[in-house]
Amino acid sequence: MKNLWVEYFGGIVTVRTSGTGIERFINSLTRSGIHIWNVKRHGNQAVTFKMKLIDVKKIRQVVRNSDCKVEFLHRTGMPFQLKKLLKNSGLAVGATVFFIVIMLLSNMVWGIEIKGADPATEYKIRKELDRFGVQRGKLQFFIDNVESIQRKLSNNIQEITWVGVELKGTTYHLQVVEKNEPQKPEYFSPRHLVAKKKAVIVDMFVEEGQPLVSVNEHVQPGQLLVSGIIGKEGQTEIVSAKGEIFGETWYMSQVELPLKSIFQVFNGNEKRKHYIGIGPLRIPVWGFGKVEYKEFETETNEKNIHFIKWKLPISYSNKTIREREQVTRIYSNEEAFDVAKEMARNDIKSRLNEDAKIKGEKVLHKSVENGKVILSIHFQIIENIAEGQPIVQGETE
């Protein structure tokens, strides 16, 4: 069967010719280079055939030189389909625009709800969200994912301890836990205060109870500092001893620091790639070409597309590829000792309470061995050494 796809795209016309000398007319068409097919006779003086749309102008000259009459019966092919489509384009364009508008509205941010924050903290959070681009009317495709928003808020706002970010439909829901929340009064059962480590007493603040030690006194772990039994013999009262007993304690910290170290850093070069996802398939739409970085790290941000409340199997994603490079850091001996001291101080601070202070430090040993600085430091610390110990029944008898 003849393949007529090429003719279909150019347009096909069905022609009916009638009159005398039809055979001469058909031959004249052929001699004029007009391609015809599906020639069918209808009676003695009528014939139908098909021809290309582009040959319609040529047939008019042949008709003038013949005794035949020509009628165009049917028109098929791509040009006529397009013309028909253009006539009905209003409905198609309207449906397409409606679908696009609903799609855009379904993927915009229409609400930001913040719970658990006082007005001042909520104002700061909203200012930060504006700076990140999380705003009403903004397309979700151009906003960071919820994990990134949560991390940035936690890092940039000192008033919050934790923030949870969740995107439901077109609304961001934020649950905030603030710092310095009012603490409930702490209730203690009857108790003594005892030393939790070896120390020399340097200061005392006793709110309730009977002090049994004094400033400059050496104490041992478990030694009674403040008694919860007050009053004279025969007229005693049991209370919950309260207070802070500050003592000088001692810590050791040993640090090893390589003089030469190699680590990875970002050098500022990056490349972005954008994709449209259909199911598991990812179709690149921008940022073509190979990544020429030898060392790099990739961050992917993917957004699902919604239609009203339904999540479609279509998504938009972008990848940020950041180039890394290897950096070699070399310390001199003195620089390494200074850095090692700071590391030792940070190590001690991480082991102490917030109210503890470093009174003094003394380097006991420092050396350079096998490309490393080895440093041992003795620290003098002022800290609260008191801890509670319940009063047992036998002590009160």
**Does residue 13 sit in the same domain as residue 78?**
yes
Residue 5 vs residue 352, higher pLDDT: 352
Instruction: Please count the other Cβ atoms lying within 10 Å of the Cβ belonging to residue 163.
Output: 22
Q: Determine the pLDDT at residue 291.
A: 83
The pLDDT of residue 95: 80
User: Are the beta carbons of 55 and 35 closer than 8 angstroms?
Assistant: yes
* Domain membership flag for residue 320: yes
Give the per-residue pLDDT at 124: 87
Cross-strand bridge partners of residue 256? 374
pLDDT at 1: 41
Domain boundary among 28, 62, 82: 82
**pLDDT 10s digits, 269-310:** 889 888 888 888 888 888 888 888 888 888 888 888 877 777
For the chain, what percent of residues have pLDDT higher than 90?
22
Which of 149, 178, 207 corresponds to the end of one domain? 178
User: Does pLDDT of 98 surpass 80?
Assistant: yes
Model confidence pLDDT, tens digit, residues 257-271 = 999 988 888 888 889
- The residue behind tokens 């829901």 is 173
DSSP secondary structure code for residue 108 in this structure:
B
Looking at the whole model, is its pTM more than 0.75? no
Does a structural domain hold residue 303? yes
The owner of tokens 């790099």 is 296
Q: Tokens for 12, please give them.
A: 């096909």
Q: Tell me whether residue 335 is in a domain.
A: yes
Q: What is the dihedral of CA 83, 86, 87, 89, to 10 degrees?
A: 160
Helix (H, G, I), strand (E, B) or coil at 138: coil
**pLDDT for 393:** 66
Asked which of 26-30, 243-247, 381-385 is least confident by mean pLDDT, the reply is 26-30
What's the N-to-C CA distance of the chain in angstroms? 117
Residue 353, both tokens? 């309470």
- Of 304, 326, 348, the one marking the end of a domain is 326
Residues 378 and 391 in one domain: no
Tell me if 350 is assigned to some domain: yes
How confident is the model over 77-86, as pLDDT tens digits?
888 878 877 7
Q: Are strands 171-178 and 111-115 parallel, antiparallel or unpaired?
A: parallel
Pair 241, 269 in one domain:
no
Q: Could you tell me if 314 and 359 lie in one domain? A: no
Q: What span, in angstroms and rounded, lies between the C-alpha atoms of 266 and 325?
A: 6
Indicate whether 105 belongs to any domain: no
Report, in angstroms and rounded to the nearest whole number, the Rg of the chain calculated over CA atoms: 44
Q: Is residue 221 predicted with pLDDT exceeding 90?
A: yes
336 and 322 belong to one structural domain: no
CATH of the domain at 57: 3.30.70.2280
DSSP 191-259: EEEEESS-EEEEEEEEEESEE---TT-EE-TT-EEEESEESSTTS-EE-B-EEEEEEEEEEEEEEEEES
Total domain count, the chain: 5
Q: What is the mean pLDDT of the chain?
A: 85
pLDDT for 196? 93
The answer to whether residues 206 and 159 belong to one domain is no
Longest dimension (CA), the chain: 147
Greater pLDDT, 45 or 371: 371
Does residue 98 lie within any of the structural domains?
no
pLDDT in tens, 156-183: 888 888 888 888 878 888 888 887 655 5
pLDDT band at 338 (very low <50, low <70, confident <90, very high): very high
Domain range spanning residue 206?
191-245+386-396
Q: What tokens does 174 get?
A: 């934020």
Share of residues in the chain with pLDDT > 70 (%): 95
104 pLDDT above the threshold of 60: yes
Entry field: residues in the chain = 397
What is residue 396's DSSP assignment? G
DSSP reduced 3-state for 80? helix
Same structural domain, 126 and 164: yes
Q: Mark whether 16 and 77 lie in a shared domain.
A: yes
Q: Judge whether 150 lies within some domain.
A: yes
